[in-house]
Amino acid sequence: MAIVVLQDFPGGTAAQYDQVSQMLNLGGKSPKGNLFHVAGPVEGGWRVVDVWESPEALSEFMGKLGPLAQQAGIAQPQVTTWPVHTMLTPQGYGLGG
Interior/surface letters 4-17, b for 16+ CB within 10 angstroms, e for the rest = bbebbbeebeeebb
Each domain of the chain, given as residue ranges in start order, spans: 3-86
- Residue 87: its pLDDT value, please? 87
Q: Which CATH number fits domain 3-86: 3.40.50.970, 3.10.20.30, 3.30.70.100, 2.130.10.10?
A: 3.30.70.100
H-helix or E-strand containing 56? helix 55-71
What is the pTM assigned to this prediction? 0.88
- Pick the residue with more confidence: 75 or 78? 78
Instruction: Read off the pLDDT of residues 22-69 as tens digits, 9 standing for 90 and up.
Output: 999 999 899 999 999 999 999 999 999 999 999 999 999 999 999 999
Other CB atoms within 10 Å distance of the CB of residue 71: 11
